[in-house]
Amino acid sequence: MNSLPIFKRLVEKPWIWSYVGMIVVWLATISYTGGKGGADVLTAALSFATFTVIVGIGQMFVITTGPGNVDLSIPATISFSGAVAMKIMDGSNSMLLIGLIVSLGCGLVVGVFNYMLIRVLRIPPIIATLSSSFLVLSTAIAYGRGLKIKPPGLLAEFATAQIYGVPILAIVVAGFAVVMGVVLNRTIYGRSVLAIGQNMRAAWLAGIKVEKIRFATYVLSAVLAALCGFVLAGFSGGASLNMGEEYLLGSIAVVVIGGTSVAGGKANVPGIWGAAMFMFLLVTMLNTFGASAGVRLILTGLIIVTVITIAGGDKPQR
């Protein structure tokens, strides 16, 4: 294996295409502007991609547990957790830790609730998480008095701080992604998720505690969505009810473009970063070209389809 040229080994990685797409789109953008603002675009992409990566990792674990598994309650959870955290902290730095704990607690509750719907009431995950998202969002609206509140200064500072143009938050989340990559490939939990995604019955018969793993996965996804809501509210100067909206398709798209199999059982973390950057840079590029909103949407759709086709070109086994 080691004798293979590095290039060939890279091409075999499912996540490589998201990075190729990212670089191509970035080059296209800066060549249009004549090299101006290339670094600024990257900084912005890193900032915004960070939030997609946080929820994308949770969504990746859910999707990997097999066909039909997806978490559609992520946007509602982001808005809910952000609103509750802002209200609790009320702009005070001393409440920061408590705010974070309550925010993650919101995620925990949503995750447990999602799993209960799926397991106890036997509702398909798509319907279960979609309907729970209505409940969660309604709660956030009822709780909506937190919406005009500014985040604590420390949180806002942390969420927007940069070193040499690299957002601190992006560095932290990159580290977190490395940890989750290890969790996926080198822990019993990760292996179990991959096994369940290939064949749930075989996984059960191989001694894997299927339901505990699924429970943990839905909770993980909701808790990460809550964490995203917490930092996103800090980043954008407060919570809003629609701040999670773009993460519905965003979280799924980055997982798929990143090379994770929609059929389950096969996943990777690096691709999520590449795909999140790619998605942001793509929209930036189309904006730079001066494309109208309609053209932008059409091109975004076409380009995503193209990347998935190239990246998803798995050789069939035997």
Partner 1 sequence: MERNIVSFERVAKHFGAVRALDGVDLNVKPGECLGLVGHNGAGKSTLMNVLAGTLTPDTGVIGIHGKDLKSSYGVPKANENGIRCVFQELSLCPNLTVAENARIFHPSLSGWGWKTKTGAMITEKLDEIFPGHGISSGDVVGDLKIGKRQMVEIARAFTLTDTPLHLVILDEPTSSLDAITARQLLEFVRKVVGDGLSCILISHVLGEVLEYSDRIVVMKDGLVVSERPAGDFDRNSLVAEMGNVIEMDEISEHQEREKLRGTTAVVVEVASGTQKLQAHQGEIIGLAGLAGHGQTGMLLGIYETAFGGKATGNVNGPVALVAGDRQTDGIFHLWSIAENIGVGSLSRMVRRGLIDPVAEAAIGETWQQRIKIKTPDMNNNILSLSGGNQQKALFARALASDAEIILMDDPMRGVDVGTKLEVYDLIRDEAEKGRTFLWYTTEMDELYNCDHTYVFRDGLIVADLSREELTEEKILHSSFKETA
Binding site for partner 1 (CB under 8 A): 182, 186-188, 191-192, 194-195, 198-199, 201-203, 205-209, 265-266, 317-318
CB 63 within 8 A of CB 262: yes
**3-class DSSP assignment, residue 166:** strand
162: which strand partners?
167
* Between 138 and 185, CB nearer to partner 1: 185
Dihedral over Cα of 131, 133, 139, 145: its sign? negative
Q: How far is the CB of 191 from partner 1 (least distance, A)?
A: 6
Question: What are the backbone angles phi and psi of residue 286, rounded to the nearest 5°?
Answer: -65, -35
* Between 141 and 182, CB nearer to partner 1: 182
Query: Hey, what's the torsion of the CAs at 152, 58, 45, 234, to 10 degrees?
Result: -10
Tokens of 263: 């059929």
* Between 79 and 192, CB nearer to partner 1: 192
Whole-angstrom distance, CA of residue 88 vs CA of residue 99: 6
Q: Quick one: how far is CA 75 from the chain centroid?
A: 11
* Between 40 and 211, CB nearer to partner 1: 211
Q: How far is the CB of 212 from partner 1 (least distance, A)?
A: 11
Q: How far is the CB of 215 from partner 1 (least distance, A)?
A: 15
Q: How far is the CB of 256 from partner 1 (least distance, A)?
A: 17
Q: How far is the CB of 122 from partner 1 (least distance, A)?
A: 17
Buried-state track 178-191, b at ≥16 Cβ within 10 A, e below 16: eebbebbeeeebbe
The Cβ of residue 296 has, within 10 Å, a number of other Cβ atoms equal to 17
Q: How far is the CB of 34 from partner 1 (least distance, A)?
A: 46
* Between 207 and 290, CB nearer to partner 1: 207
* Between 213 and 233, CB nearer to partner 1: 213
